[in-house]
Amino acid sequence: MRTTRRQFLALSGGALGTAALRLDAAPALAQNAPVKIGVLAAKAGVLAPVGESGLRGVQWATERVNAARGILGRRIELIVEEESSPKDTVERFRKLSLQDRVDAVSGAISTGVGLALGPVAEEMKTIWLSWDATTQKGVEETLPKPKYSFRSTDNECEAVMASLLTARHLKGKFRTVAGINPDYSYGRDNWAAFLAIMKKYGIELSVVSELWPKLGATDFTAHVAALGQARPDLIFSCFWAGDTPIFLKQAHAAGLTAKSKLVLTTGGGVHEALKKDFTPEGAILGYNCLYFDWARASALQKEFVRWHHEKFKEWPNYESDHGYFTIVAYKAAVERAARAAGGKWPAPDAIIQALEGIEAESLSGPRRFREDHIMEATFFQGMTTHKNAYDFVTIDPVETMTTKQIQKPSGVGLYDWINSWKV
């Protein structure tokens, strides 16, 4: 049967009417309806491994919360979307907010995406719990006091910790330095922080080479040749993706890793790819906020690491911890706000207020959101060793520092903070 325009309009009107009725009916069902949490997880390109890792942390946290009666009796329902370009990710954030009517969004890794999401979260009045998209500079300038955005730890934490370890363990053992870092804000910020801290510690050095391969590069033979000519005593790099093993493999083949000490602030992001064949012992290696093989890890972390390895045949990296924390922090905040509201499901503003300063047990230990919406966590770094049962390097001893030591305090610029240190 052919539908006339008039019939179509009547049908559409009816459908819209039904939709309106359903929306009207929603509040009555809210107490039993699931809590919807949107997830923005990168699944393609250079961000894919960490995106997947963050999603696993979120999913594991959700399974556990749901198995223990959810949040105030409501199950968590995840609506997973993809993090890709800033423009597309913003569209998906809007879709999660407007169409799926999520209670909060967890996720996003890229700084560029984070810069775009910050203002949109405020505009949509949707709580956004970032995994890693720290957006430091942009948010400082465009959103000095975000209400709905809760951000990760600072970009430079790894560089600050690695620099402190360099000063502690390698002072006096190097004079010429080279940097090879990905050519975007993370790479530039980390390298600048490293040089500032070396200066603060009175370490006289000369920079013999600064290389800026683009993020996602897969060949470093020319960079390795340039480093070979520069002959640095120490090479600093904040590579964190597939670039790390490729660079190390090519540097090893050219004999570079035997001549230069290495400081790899973030290589633990792809720790299983750092095979003993080409990754030397004695390099400073950072794992961000989760070290899978930590003997002193909590029972929670050990359980997660076991589950992760059994299910995915891989040892987890830090992004799982960022993801896990967003879910348990949200749950803790809702419960805290509900206590103040006599046990009823709290309003979004009350949840936001409760998130400020909330502390929760995460995989790597206790974590919290500062009052200015920045995460606090523990970071793990150490010297690489081949003495383990794996075919890749681990660290021994494992050194830990908290964001109280390696993250600038609220309202202070990074370099003002570094200059204020008493060393």
Interface positions with another protein (CB under 8 A): 43-46, 48-49, 51-52, 209-214, 216-219, 221-223, 225-226, 228-229, 241-242, 245-246, 249-250, 253-255, 270, 272-273, 275, 277-278, 314
In the complex with another protein, the residue whose CB is nearer, 103 or 272, is: 272
Q: Give Cα 358 to chain centroid, integer Å.
A: 18
In the complex with another protein, the residue whose CB is nearer, 63 or 277, is: 277
* CB 72, min distance to another protein, A: 35
| Cβ count within 10 A of residue 167 | 16
Cβ contact 133:154 at 8 Å: no
In the complex with another protein, the residue whose CB is nearer, 249 or 367, is: 249
Q: What b/e string do you get for 235-268 counting C-beta neighbours within 10 Å, with b at 16 or more?
A: bbbbbbbbbbbbbbbbbbebebbeebbbbbbbbb
* CB 207, min distance to another protein, A: 12
From CA 311, how far away is CA 314, in angstroms rounded? 8
DSSP per-residue codes, 87-113 = HHHHHHHHHHHHTS--SEEEE---HHH
From CA 79, how far away is CA 74, in angstroms rounded? 15
Residue 82: closest CA among 62, 111, 56, 55: 55
Tell me how far CA of residue 181 lies from CA of 258, 268, 404, in angstroms.
20, 15, 26
* CB 277, min distance to another protein, A: 4
* CB 43, min distance to another protein, A: 8
* CB 381, min distance to another protein, A: 21
* CB 329, min distance to another protein, A: 26
* CB 276, min distance to another protein, A: 9
In the complex with another protein, the residue whose CB is nearer, 180 or 352, is: 180
In the complex with another protein, the residue whose CB is nearer, 128 or 186, is: 186
How long a stretch of residues is the chain?
423
In the complex with another protein, the residue whose CB is nearer, 141 or 277, is: 277
* CB 50, min distance to another protein, A: 9
Residue 275: closest CA among 390, 397, 398: 390
Q: Which two tokens stand for residue 331?
A: 């749950």
* CB 299, min distance to another protein, A: 26
In the complex with another protein, the residue whose CB is nearer, 216 or 343, is: 216
In the complex with another protein, the residue whose CB is nearer, 46 or 377, is: 46
Residue 159: closest CA among 195, 107, 106, 184: 195
Cβ contact 94:101 at 8 Å: no
In the complex with another protein, the residue whose CB is nearer, 264 or 270, is: 270
Q: Which two tokens stand for residue 329?
A: 């922090």
Q: Give Cα 91 to chain centroid, integer Å.
A: 21
E-state strands within 238-386: 261-264, 284-286, 359-362, 365-369, 375-376, 378-385
**Residue bearing tokens 């948010």:** 139
* CB 262, min distance to another protein, A: 17
In the complex with another protein, the residue whose CB is nearer, 52 or 122, is: 52
